């Protein structure tokens, strides 16, 4: 099956849109196939501001209606306490919210951007999607991340080279309570590093310290900018550490 065939068989659907590469291409493919599709973006403390801006831009360029839903993820104790399966509780909360809103709007089928490169297994988030009967056309059609980037580039989508960006909650170790203050510190620190031109990095919480993870190719520039990075990040953390095991 290819996406064109999928949307001929399923001409009306809601898409859980994160603003990322995969769900952006899924929306584009639906639009190209002439499907009646609507994008649903969930605004929460876990999502950085730039994701919403990217979602708005992409939907504007594709002329697809975007519905923004607000979810207080930290109000859910199972999410806030950050257990090993936090992603399950969070995904279930978010996708239940989207499914309910979409059904009210007349969209009974809910799609997401899981692709063929994503390991299904028993990952907590995947379990939530299965339980809620969320359909993943990119995965069903065998499209890998690499292929989706290529097709996105050919389609002229600005998201084609956008780095993967997991939610802010992933920067906090499992078992450590998630707070708005910790999430805000993470976002501020990462925004600063983005402003310096760094890409594909993470600022992870390590006690009261920031543990910086960069690709090996950026280590030289990190050391060049060391003093400025330390000065800025110590506004939010007591110490700043560089992880010498480079991000792959």
The confidence score (pLDDT) of residue 92 equals: 96
The confidence score (pLDDT) of residue 152 equals: 98
Is residue 124 very low, low, confident or very high in pLDDT (cuts 50, 70, 90)?
confident
**Where is the domain boundary, 161, 189, 206?**
161
Whether 146 and 200 map to the same domain: the answer is no
The confidence score (pLDDT) of residue 246 equals: 85
pLDDT at 121 over 60: no
Q: Kindly report, residue by residue over 46-59, the tens digit of the pLDDT.
A: 999 999 999 999 99
CA distance 244 to 223: 12
Whether 137 and 228 map to the same domain: the answer is no
For residue 71, the domain's CATH number is 3.40.50.620
**Residue 190, domain extent:** 179-242
Whether 22 and 108 map to the same domain: the answer is yes
Contact residues for 16 (Cβ-Cβ < 8 A; gap 6+): 23, 40, 42, 94, 95, 98, 110, 111, 112, 113, 134
For residue 212, the domain's CATH number is 3.30.70
Is residue 122 very low, low, confident or very high in pLDDT (cuts 50, 70, 90)?
low
Q: Kindly report, residue by residue over 171-209, the tens digit of the pLDDT.
A: 999 999 999 999 999 999 999 999 999 999 999 999 999
Whole-number Cα distances in Å, 35 to 10, 11, 67, 149: 8, 5, 17, 22
């Amino acid at each position: 099956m290819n996406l064109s065939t999928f949307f001929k068989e399923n001409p009306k659907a809601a898409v859980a849109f994160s603003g990322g590469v995969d769900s952006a291409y899924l929306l584009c493919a639906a639009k190209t196939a002439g499907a009646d599709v609507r994008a649903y973006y969930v605004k929460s403390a876990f999502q950085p501001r730039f994701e919403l801006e990217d979602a708005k831009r992409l939907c504007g360029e594709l002329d697809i209606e975007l519905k923004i839903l607000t979810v207080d993820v930290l109000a859910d104790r199972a999410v806030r306490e950050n257990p090993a399966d936090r992603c399950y509780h969070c995904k279930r909360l978010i996708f239940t919210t989207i499914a309910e809103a979409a059904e009210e709007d007349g969209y009974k089928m809910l799609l997401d951007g899981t692709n063929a490169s994503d390991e299904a297994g028993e990952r907590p988030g995947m379990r939530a999607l299965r339980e809620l009967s969320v359909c993943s056309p990119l995965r069903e059609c065998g499209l890998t991340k690499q292929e989706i980037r290529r097709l996105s580039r050919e389609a002229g989508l600005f998201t084609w080279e956008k780095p993967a960006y997991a939610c802010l909650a992933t920067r906090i170790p499992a078992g450590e309570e998630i707070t708005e203050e910790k999430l805000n510190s993470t976002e501020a620190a990462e925004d600063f590093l983005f402003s310096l031109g760094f890409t594909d990095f993470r600022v992870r919480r390590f006690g009261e310290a920031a543990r910086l993870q960069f690709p090996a190719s950026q280590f030289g520039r990190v050391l060049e900018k060391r003093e400025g990075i330390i000065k800025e990040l110590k506004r939010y953390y007591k110490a700043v550490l560089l992880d010498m095991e480079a991000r792959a």
